[in-house]
Amino acid sequence: MIELDGQLFDGQTTRSRAASLRVWTDETVRIAVAGSEQTLQLPDLEIPARLANTPRRIRLPDGAIFETPDNDGADALLAAQGRTRRHWLHRLESRWDLVLASAVFVLGFGAAFVVWGVPALARVAAFAVPAETSAWLGEGALEVLDRTLEPSALSDARREALRARLDEVTAAAPDAGDYAFRLVFRGGGDFGANALALPSGQIVLTDELVALADADEELIAVLAHEVGHVVHRHALRQAIQSSTLVIAIVLVTGDLSATSGSVALLPTLLAEARFSQEFEREADAYAVRTLDRAGIDEAHFARILRRMDEDPDEGFASFFSTHPNTDERIRLLERGESGEDAAPRQSLK
Amino acid sequence: MAEPALESVASQPSERVAFEFRGTASEYFRIWIVNLSLTILTLGIYSAWAKVRRNRYLAASTRVGGASFAYLAEPMAILKGRALVVGFFLVYSMAQGVSPLADAVFGPAIFLAIPWAVIRSMAFRAHNTAWRNVRFAFGAPYGAAFGAYIGYPLLGALTLGVLYPNAVFRQRRFLVDNSAFGTTRFQIGSSNRDFYRAFGMIVMLALVLAATAGVVWSISGRFWAAAVASVPMGFYLFGYAASQISNHTYHGATLGPHRLRCRLEPGPLALLYASNALAILLSLGLLIPWAHIRSARYRLSRMGIVAAGSLDEFAAAQGDDVSSLGDAFGEMMDLDIGL
């Protein structure tokens, strides 16, 4: 005979009364509370499916709740109602082999989402906005940079010559028509020999880099790389990717509000470094195609990269490095691997 | 550990009733991972059912006075609310593509909807939580929510933070004072002064943190060394802020003749946050459920009710059903609504 012990709550007040429920006939149950008994129709009981080992709340027709910790008894009562199947969710959650398979599936999906899903989403989203919006997002970036950069010491004639070189690049560069490129000259300060592309189409070239180049063709290669960052909308895509990742992490960690902030930080940094390296490869490939069209030897690009690499390096944790290893970049260039199109700013180094 | 005594409101003898959390990481992990798998397989639709199952487990695992809590929300109600919110944002983004006026129309609309979303979200959650077959309730006029979530925080920002603790106090008071269990209302037990004192300490701790980082930076000359050195202090700051805000929200709050107890401690809470963060990182996220269970167990172990007389006498209200729209809105907008 099925008999369950529990408490009865009538739904009017929080009064708790010890009660027992037992199956009386095939169709009826009897509930005993404080010496009195009532008979109820078995099919009228609302018995919830099992959820781990939490107490079962059996709902009676008058809205009262019979709460019992006896899960086996409640399952037997469900069976007496003719519902013999154990609930499929509880079955899923009870079998460790299925749970393990779920864990593997979720981890695999999560990894695929970060590696392919997020960049693909960001690409679609970034190219959905008009070029002017993309440029507008980068406005003010130069003012921020100018706090670290110094005025340029280049002569006007040299500037004019280099601006003409940029025009050569943009004339040869694929898909560059939508953007207004402008060359800006600065002293590098802490940045040293470097070039930066801003989403607005401004390309910052430091005096140190100009001095480092042995030939103008090398600077053209650098400019082509920077134009690649702008045309591929890397700054916007970087911003979209980072925010998507943070939102995803916060959604999965749920309401662990204070923890999720610190938890989100490290994977976001790692993933951003990875995304950024992808962007550099994309810009390199773009530079190669541009040089090809302009009839300039790609070896110039490899040469200036090599020379920039000889500058003293920061050295801390290449995991977080935003740029791929120079040897790898040059190897890709030499194989002529332009490949199909595989941040607030992107610099050459 | 010595604790400040809570005098009972009436002169009845009072009895301390502890909360108890019976959830286990093993059970919760299985529920969580099955939830996630099904949510991925159904392209997110299952998330409404997942939320109900998770909340049912957490509520049913929480016990006080010999009975567990119950989460009663219907997944379909949550799904409908979410569908509406997603639909709204779809229309918004399409309108953005069509007309530059879209932001001018939708921006203020979203802004003005926030207080309403807070109310609906709180009401939905309270209405769908029950103990001993009596539901909680939440209800507030729009103006009160506007003040708590927009007016006072804005004032706090305009005064460069001087009135910010006041804004947090108003928000917490809004959440507690508009809540009820059955027909019995809650009332906050802390004052503005408590929040000012807590924020004074938070500012001091933040200054110590900045000074530590600055000294390490100037000695080592490395930014990352300064960042690493400020991690322990950062967690302590987190633990202090979270414990104080929880304590001042719940501790001493009255429910009829009874009072709530909430005595979270900064140190243990900071250690809990730090160990959770480390465990989640090292396990690639698989220990998230374990972290949830430990957090709940610690919090509830520090909470209780100082009962003046019997807990059998709360009466149920005759409430209407509350739609889950605000609930979905609250989630999507990531409002920090916790009660």
pLDDT tens across A320-334, in order?
Answer: 456 777 777 777 776
Residues making up chain B, counted from first to last: 339
pLDDT at residue A30 greater than cutoff 90: yes
| Contact status, residue B177 vs residue B139, Cβ threshold 8 Å | no
Question: SS3 for A52?
Answer: coil
DSSP per residue, A71-127: HHHHHHHHHHTT--SPPHHHHHHH-HHHHHHHHHHHHHHHHHIIIIIHHHHHHHHHH
Residue A77 has which token pair?
């009562």
The total of other beta-carbon atoms located within 10 Å of residue B105's CB is 12
Answer whether residue A312 shows pLDDT above 50. no
Average pLDDT over residues B7-28: 81
Say what the pLDDT of residue B195 is. 96
Among the ranges A169-173, A217-221, A315-319, which has the highest mean pLDDT value?
A217-221
Q: Contacts of residue A10 in chain B, CB cutoff 8 Å?
A: 133
CB-CB under 8 Å, B34 with A99: yes
- In this prediction, does ipTM exceed 0.85? no
Percent of chain A with pLDDT over 90: 21
B289 to chain A, any CB pair closer than 8 A? The answer is: no
* DSSP symbol at B161: T
Contact B209, B234 (CB under 8 A): yes
- The single residue listed with the structure tokens 């149950």 is A29
| DSSP secondary structure letter of residue A43 | G
Residues in contact with A263: Cβ distance below 8 Å, sequence separation at least 6, in sequence order: A249, A253, A256, B276, B277, B280, B281
Numbered ranges of CATH 2.30.29.30 in chain A: 3-92
In whole angstroms, give the CA distance from residue A116 to residue A104.
Answer: 18
Identify the burial level of B288 via C-beta atoms within 10 angstroms of its C-beta, where 0-12 means exposed, 13-18 middle and 19 or more buried.
buried
- The alpha carbon torsion through B192, B196, B202, B208 (nearest 10 deg) reads -170
Can you tell me the mean pLDDT for B6-20?
A: 71
Predicted local distance difference test score (pLDDT) of residue A51 = 93
Q: B46, B52, B133: which to substitute to probe chain A, counting the most A Cβ within 10 Å?
A: B133
Contact A54, B56 (CB under 8 A): yes
Asked if B298 is an interface residue toward chain A (Cβ–Cβ < 8 A), one would say no
Looking at residue A154, its pLDDT comes to 87
Task: Tell me the average pLDDT of chain A.
Answer: 81
CA distances from A87 to A51, A54, A79, B187, B233 (A): 9, 15, 11, 42, 48
Q: How many CB atoms lie within 10 A of CB A319?
A: 9
How far A178 CA lies from chain B's nearest CA (Å)? 19
Q: Is B70 on the interface with A (CB under 8 A)?
A: yes
- Cβ-Cβ contacts under 8 Å between A and B: the total is 131
Please tell me the predicted confidence (pLDDT) of residue A55: 95
Asked if B131 has any chain A CB less than 8 Å from its own CB, the reply is: yes
Best of A12, A94, A106, A318 to disrupt the B interface (most B CBs within 10 Å) is A106
Contacts of B76 (CB under 8 A, 6+ apart): B48
Cβ atoms within 10 Å of B253's Cβ, excluding its own: 22
CA distance A219 to A217: 5
**Mean pLDDT, rounded, for B37-53:** 90
| Whether the predicted pLDDT of A224 surpasses 60 | yes
**DSSP labels for B177-239?**
HTEEETTEEEE----HHHHHHHHHHHHHHHHHHHHHHHHHHHHH--HHHHHHHTHHHHHHHHH
CA distances (Å), B244 to each of B160, B197, B259, B269, B296, in order?
22, 10, 18, 11, 17
How close does chain A come to B107, measured CA to CA in Å? Answer: 18
Interface test with B, best of A60, A113, A259 (most B CBs within 10 A): A259
DSSP letter assigned to residue A42: G
Query: Residue A178: pLDDT above 80?
Result: no
Q: Residue A337 and residue B68: Cα distance in Å, rounded?
A: 64
Quick check: B333 contacting A, CB < 8 Å?
no
Is residue A28 a contact partner of residue A40, using CB atoms and an 8 Å limit?
yes
DSSP A316: S
Nearest of A50, A111, A250 to residue B30 by alpha carbon? A50
Does the pLDDT at position B5 exceed 90?
A: no
Mean pLDDT of chain B: 86
What pLDDT score was predicted for residue A334? Answer: 66
The pLDDT of residue A317 is above 60 = no
Please write the tens of the pLDDT for every residue from B129-170.
999 999 998 888 999 999 999 999 999 999 999 999 999 999
Q: How far apart are CA B264 and CA B241, in angstroms?
A: 11
Chain A CB contacts of B132 under 8 Å are 9, 14-16
Q: Smallest CA–CA separation between A284 and chain B, in Å?
A: 30
Give the pLDDT confidence score for residue B23 in this predicted structure: 95
Find, among B230, B279, B281, B224, the residue nearest to A320 by Cα: B224
Contact: B336, A257; criterion CB under 8 Å: yes
Model confidence at A46: pLDDT above 70: yes
Q: CB within 8 A of B105, min separation 6: which ones?
A: B95
Asked if A94's CB is within 8 angstroms of B30's CB, the reply is: yes
Q: Which of A242-251, A277-286, B47-56 has the lowest mean pLDDT?
A: A242-251
Tokens of B93: 């983004």
Q: Smallest Cβ distance to A259: which of B57, B67, B291?
A: B291
pLDDT tens across B58-74, in order?
A: 999 999 999 999 999 88
A52 → closest Cβ in B27, B33, B277: B27
Contact in structure between B64 and B181 (CB atoms under 8 Å): no
Q: Across the interface, do B238 and A258 touch by the CB < 8 Å criterion?
A: yes
- Token output for B150: 């927009």
Q: Are A47 and A65 in contact, with CB atoms under 8 Å apart?
A: no
Helix axes B102-127, B75-98, angle to 10 degrees: 170
CA of A206 vs chain B CAs: smallest distance (Å): 25
Strand A36-41 relative to strand A150-151, pairing? unpaired
- Of A7, A55, A256, nearest to B60 by CB-CB distance is A55
pLDDT mean over A176-184 = 81
Q: CATH classification of A3-92 is 3.30.70.580, yes or no?
A: no
B281 touches chain A (CB under 8 A): yes
* Residue B225 C-alpha, separation from nearest chain A C-alpha, in angstroms: 11
| Whole-number Å distance between alpha carbons of A346 and B28 | 44
Task: Please check whether residue B37 touches A, CB under 8 A.
Answer: yes
Mean predicted confidence (pLDDT) in B291-305: 94
- The secondary structure of residue A215, as a DSSP letter, is S
Mean pLDDT of B49-60: 93
